[in-house]
Structure 1
Amino acid sequence: MPQTTQQPTAQRGIRGVVPVLAFAGITVAVMQTLLVPVIKDLPVLLGTAPSNATWVMTSTLLAGAVSTPIMGRLGDLYGKRRMLLASLAVMVVGSLIAGFTSDLVVMIVGRALQGFAMGAIPLGIGLMRDELPREKLGSAMALMSSSIGVGGGLALPLAALVAQHADWHALFFGAAGLGVVAILLTLAFVPESKVKAEGTFDVLGALGLSAGLVLFLLPITKGSDWGWTDPMTLGLFGAAAVVLVLWGVMELRVKAPLVDLRTTARREVLLTNLASIMVGVAFYAISLVLPQLLQLPKATGYGLGQSMVVAGLCVAPLGLTMMFTAPVYARLSAKYGPKITLLLGMLIIGIGYGSGLGLMDAAWQTIIISVVVGAGIGLAYSSLPALIIGAVDASETGAANGLNTLMRSIGTSVSSAVIGMVLANTANHVGGAALPSMHGFRISFMIATGAVAMGVVLAVFLPKQRRATRPQLRASSEEDAALARAEEVLGGGFRGQVLDAAGLPVARAKVTLIDRRGRQAGAALTDHEGRYALAVPDGGSYVLAATATGHAPRAAAATHHGEDRPVDVDLALQAIAEQAAQAAR
């Protein structure tokens, strides 16, 4: 059984945890768009054919897709901070390799190592869940989840500025520098989580999932070059289906699987992951369309004729708005729940793309589109980890969020392939060159709107919060009798003791039961032996928070699987004076 108790570091430096983890997330997300400003020049820079040069981008995408579930599971088993540092170190090595070469094969290796760092996103979300008090968790996870878009949005203008005024290899040295800073900050401010899963790492499962993902994503990213009906494309799709089915059968039989498919099949987890694909499609569409529209020459009749740097600055509000929506999300989610914020976010994305169909005539109009779509994606991305975390055990956080991040990556891959095909098939041929047409841009926006509409439908069917159907335990003057009666009718629920640092019971401590949406589902006072008992409205993940006069608060994550027997969870409190003395030392 996985360990379910949790010892947050609410009193030791949590203020530094959130910005450091968010910075790490933004750093690894930068790798995805680092070369976008020079993508059209890569064949010349690397001395190769255009079809070969695209591997420089494809390798990063494939490595990121493979790493997210694997690093998430490794973090659950061996420590999320440890795996976060390993991810950042791999990114630094990859950046240095790419920075010192112009050889295609070596460059692909370096870029793959850069992409492998994407596993830092779910690891950061897992660390936040384990280390932060509940009241800070919503906005923190929102910021970490949005770091994918924030990093991508901010990287565009900065990378364009560097590429326009310096050697393009400087991009990689800058990335290495960011990685080193992220490592140092993580070492200084982020503690290792005490929440770990038991078991061993599923090596065969990791190899099987990696093979299946590569076989699936490779034809998606290269289909436009090879042809969608080419035997190579169809053969890889068929092989991916066979490998993933066999992998799924194997995972169901393994005692400690890489991905718990039974958990993944839960309605809330499954629908959230499918909605994540749709949000990924919508997110990447704007990144593909607006930079090209802005940089096309005005002679086309619809291009806006802006420089590479100006185009990046016009799209930058996409990432900035995502970052600023994190605190807004926290307030909305606390009041209405993450399901409502996900729906709201996708509706705002739809409004942004819908208005974009008529706002393509000036650079300032693209900024409006970026702001509106960025606000919607920020809300949607922020909701996803909260929905996942509310449905899985604390010891599965890393793996579950890794899989969710993978779903977003699949969405961006599908978006890139479909919109790339649309723009290619609707291009205008001028002077022997194929230029994207306004018709193609509008179809791309319509595809993104359709994906959001599908996401809304999926989100509508997410299960609602179920209210308690059993009375919650309340303290009375006859505490022992009340506790005994509560345990008799408890059936399935939580029970345990609240103890002090010396192992002595803490009487009349308040134990609050918090459900997956952050709302109070019950409360109880401990008896003279520190005992409590709480009924649960339904099976699922909860947080038990204990408070007592003269003691620092403490919380523990725990999961009830709906059985008729109670789950034992003890909570240890530390005296405030003792804690202050430790801090002084």
Structure 2
Amino acid sequence: MTDLLTDRRASGRTVAILAFATLAFAAAQTAIVPALGAMAGAFGVSATDVTWTFSTHLIAAAVFTPLMGRLGDMFGRRRLLIVALLFFAIGSVVAAVGPDLAWVVVGRIVQGVGGGIFPLSFGILREAVPPYRVARSVGLLSAISGLGAGLGLVLGGLLTDQVTYRWIFWLGAGAAALSTLAIRLFLPASRVRGGGKVDVPGAAVLALGLAVPLIAIIRSSRWGWADARTLGLLTVGAVTLTAWVLLERRTVHPLVHIPTLARPTVLLTNIATLFVAFGMFGAFVLLPQIAQAPPGTGYGLGADATTAGLLLLPGSVVMLLTGPLSGILGKRFGARHALILGALVTATGLFLLARDFDSRAALLGYSLITFAGIGLALAAMPNLVIEAVPPALTGQATGVNTLIRSVGSSLGAQIAATVTAASALPGALPTTSGYRLAFLLAGIASATAAAIGVLIPGTSAGAIRGFRRSSLRTEPAAPVTSLSDASSDR
């Protein structure tokens, strides 16, 4: 009994520490959004220029998320988690003290290395938490990442309105420093290591293949989706990523093991993730805009940035509750069922918002339904990936899943912005019909994720064990044979 209580306390402490680190990074990703106008005024730059503080961070996080996950598999996840947090802290300080926009952009790029926090945390949970608690803990961490995105919008608006945007970065640096200290003192060293060499060519080609299309997506609301620059960058990105897949298949120690990503469970889960994230960030972008629009539009609430952010807070708390619930449902019925349920609930909330968002009650009530579904779906996706891959590949597999979630979020945000902007008359705000169409598209994306979830193969406990045994026989020699002689971080 004493040993059981000790294990529970240790695993609870691990989850709490990782949850705090995850919350800090997720909040930092979105907290800057309400501050963009204030930063443009402070630096005397255009609104277009200042958006690079958000765009470059997103690109850096997308590039480093799978890379840090792979390095964690190779050299120890606890060690790489500390490295990711240190970069996050350093980048935050650089952005906080930056005398001009260029310094803030550099700081945000360095912050983006912290994107590895997500896959590294999932890998540590798989090592340090008892098997019967892994699904619930992963669900909690996934929900907290969504909660952090919502809290970031609230916090960013509050700090911008009441003090200065620089406090957004100072708080991020402080949270990263506290997380690093707690991990160093209380988390056990990593046991599972995959070995191998760092795939520098693979990382470079992947960085190019991700950065180019993300720039196209981010700039699409200004260039237009049919613009030659947008189409050209998307084409270059697609060709580069295709070349990267071919390169990885021929590399002895690849950055990402492509056959693992091609397995039906992993592949379909990643596709569903793209559509869930599309719907999620469509809601994150649209709801604050509607709340801040003037009442004269017929739908706006005339709220300030802080109040608009607070409208997202109840939904974010609901996500925090439905995330662990998704893990419980997944353990009992299968994670794919939790994904299907979450995507359907999300679609229902978004379709209701497409029908009615003209009152505070409708906006709040239907957003609660939407975020409840998002919490269920977000938690199910990494659990599906974790169940389907051997321990030595957890970091890189969940890193790719997190990367795809970022791409889906970017698509959802930009398409929502494009649709609403297209509905506005010159010099006017978007119309009600524009917002209805944007919510409708986000709902269709979530319903599509549910349909894809139906195609994901079911996994029983026996099937999972059998898959892991077969995976250990078929993975490249270095990542698997080193499992037997894995050592601890020093």
TM-score by length of structure 2 reads: 0.92
The alpha-carbon distance between structure 1 residues 516 and 265, as it changes in their structure 2 partners (threshold 3 A), is same
Structure 1 contact 348–375 (Cα < 8 Å) conserved: yes
What is the rounded CA distance, in whole Å, between the counterparts of 1:208 and 1:26 in structure 2? Answer: 30
Three-state SS of the structure 2 residue aligned to 1:179 is helix
Kindly state the Cα deviation for residue 41 of structure 1 after the two structures are TM-superposed.
3.6
Three-state SS of the structure 2 residue aligned to 1:360 is coil
Cross-structure match for 2:26: 29
Cross-structure match for 1:474: none
Kindly state the Cα deviation for residue 35 of structure 1 after the two structures are TM-superposed.
1.2
Give CA deviations for 1:101-147 in whole Å, capped at 9, x if unaligned.
24121111111122221110111011000111112111101111223
Structure 1 contact 295–304 (Cα < 8 Å) conserved: yes
Q: Which of residues 468, 475, 479 is equivalent to 1:541? A: 468
Cross-structure match for 2:444: 450
Structure 2 contact 57–111 (Cα < 8 Å) conserved: yes
The alpha-carbon distance between structure 1 residues 12 and 290, as it changes in their structure 2 partners (threshold 3 A), is closer
Three-state SS of the structure 2 residue aligned to 1:257 is coil
Count of paired positions: 475
- The 10-residue stretch of structure 1 (436-445 or 362-371) with the greater mean CA deviation from structure 2: 362-371
Cross-structure match for 1:131: 128
- The 10-residue stretch of structure 1 (322-331 or 168-177) with the greater mean CA deviation from structure 2: 322-331
Structure 2 contact 354–437 (Cα < 8 Å) conserved: no
1:408-447 paired onto structure 2 within 5 Å: 408-429=405-426, 433-447=427-441
Structure 1 contact 156–316 (Cα < 8 Å) conserved: no
1:118 aligns with 2:115: yes
Gaps of 5+ in 2: 1-5, 485-490
Three-state SS of the structure 2 residue aligned to 1:463 is coil
Three-state SS of the structure 2 residue aligned to 1:13 is helix
1:253 aligns with 2:250: yes
Structure 1 contact 318–370 (Cα < 8 Å) conserved: yes
- The 10-residue stretch of structure 1 (447-456 or 220-229) with the greater mean CA deviation from structure 2: 220-229
1:59 is aligned with what amino acid?
Answer: T
- The 10-residue stretch of structure 1 (86-95 or 365-374) with the greater mean CA deviation from structure 2: 365-374
- The 10-residue stretch of structure 1 (300-309 or 442-451) with the greater mean CA deviation from structure 2: 300-309
Kindly state the Cα deviation for residue 327 of structure 1 after the two structures are TM-superposed.
2.9
Q: Which of residues 62, 85, 88 is equivalent to 1:88? A: 85
What is the rounded CA distance, in whole Å, between the counterparts of 1:282 and 1:43 in structure 2? Answer: 29
The alpha-carbon distance between structure 1 residues 158 and 464, as it changes in their structure 2 partners (threshold 3 A), is same
Cross-structure match for 1:288: 285
Kindly state the Cα deviation for residue 411 of structure 1 after the two structures are TM-superposed.
0.3
What is the rounded CA distance, in whole Å, between the counterparts of 1:391 and 1:84 in structure 2? Answer: 23
1:121-520 paired onto structure 2 within 5 Å: 121-429=118-426, 433-465=427-459, 514-515=461-462
CA radius of gyration, larger in: 1
Cross-structure match for 2:487: none
Structure 1 contact 540–561 (Cα < 8 Å) conserved: no
Report the aligned-residue RMSD.
Answer: 2.3
Give CA deviations for 1:476-533 in whole Å, capped at 9, x if unaligned.
xxxxxxxxxxxxxxxxxxxxxxxxxxxxxxxxxxxxxx5466xxxxxxxxxxxxxxxx
Three-state SS of the structure 2 residue aligned to 1:435 is coil
Gaps of 5+ in 1: 1-8, 467-513, 518-535, 543-556, 572-585
Structure 2 contact 216–233 (Cα < 8 Å) conserved: yes
Aligned residues with identical type, % of pairs: 35
1:459 is aligned with what amino acid?
Answer: G
Q: Between Structure 1 and Structure 2, which shows a larger proportion of strand residues? A: 1
Structure 1 contact 315–366 (Cα < 8 Å) conserved: no
What is the rounded CA distance, in whole Å, between the counterparts of 2:445 and 2:189 in structure 1? Answer: 38
Cross-structure match for 2:104: 107
What is the rounded CA distance, in whole Å, between the counterparts of 1:243 and 1:23 in structure 2? Answer: 36
Q: Which of residues 79, 92, 97 is equivalent to 2:94? A: 97
Kindly state the Cα deviation for residue 72 of structure 1 after the two structures are TM-superposed.
0.2
The alpha-carbon distance between structure 1 residues 428 and 38, as it changes in their structure 2 partners (threshold 3 A), is farther
Give CA deviations for 1:12-42 in whole Å, capped at 9, x if unaligned.
8222000110111111111211112122343
Three-state SS of the structure 1 residue aligned to 2:355 is coil
Three-state SS of the structure 1 residue aligned to 2:67 is helix
Give CA deviations for 1:265-287 in whole Å, capped at 9, x if unaligned.
11111000000000110110111
Give CA deviations for 1:309-354 in whole Å, capped at 9, x if unaligned.
1111111122211111133223211210101000000010011112
What is the rounded CA distance, in whole Å, between the counterparts of 1:354 and 1:237 in structure 2? Answer: 30
Three-state SS of the structure 1 residue aligned to 2:448 is helix
Structure 2 contact 140–323 (Cα < 8 Å) conserved: yes
Three-state SS of the structure 2 residue aligned to 1:405 is helix
Kindly state the Cα deviation for residue 238 of structure 1 after the two structures are TM-superposed.
2.2
Structure 2 contact 265–456 (Cα < 8 Å) conserved: yes
Three-state SS of the structure 2 residue aligned to 1:139 is helix
Structure 1 contact 153–317 (Cα < 8 Å) conserved: no
Cross-structure match for 2:3: none
What is the rounded CA distance, in whole Å, between the counterparts of 2:37 and 2:357 in structure 1? Answer: 23
Kindly state the Cα deviation for residue 368 of structure 1 after the two structures are TM-superposed.
1.4
Give CA deviations for 1:52-88 in whole Å, capped at 9, x if unaligned.
1111110111011111100000000011111111111
Structure 1 contact 348–372 (Cα < 8 Å) conserved: yes
1:457 is aligned with what amino acid?
Answer: A
2:278 is aligned with what amino acid?
Answer: V
Give CA deviations for 1:242-300 in whole Å, capped at 9, x if unaligned.
22122111110111111111111111110000000001101101111110100111122
Structure 2 contact 75–195 (Cα < 8 Å) conserved: no
Q: Between Structure 1 and Structure 2, which shows a larger proportion of helix residues? A: 2
Structure 1 contact 149–318 (Cα < 8 Å) conserved: no
Kindly state the Cα deviation for residue 11 of structure 1 after the two structures are TM-superposed.
7.1
Structure 1 contact 322–379 (Cα < 8 Å) conserved: yes
What is the rounded CA distance, in whole Å, between the counterparts of 1:246 and 1:219 in structure 2? Answer: 19
Cross-structure match for 2:46: 49
The alpha-carbon distance between structure 1 residues 382 and 359, as it changes in their structure 2 partners (threshold 3 A), is same
The alpha-carbon distance between structure 1 residues 383 and 299, as it changes in their structure 2 partners (threshold 3 A), is same
2:361 is aligned with what amino acid?
Answer: W
Kindly state the Cα deviation for residue 410 of structure 1 after the two structures are TM-superposed.
0.7
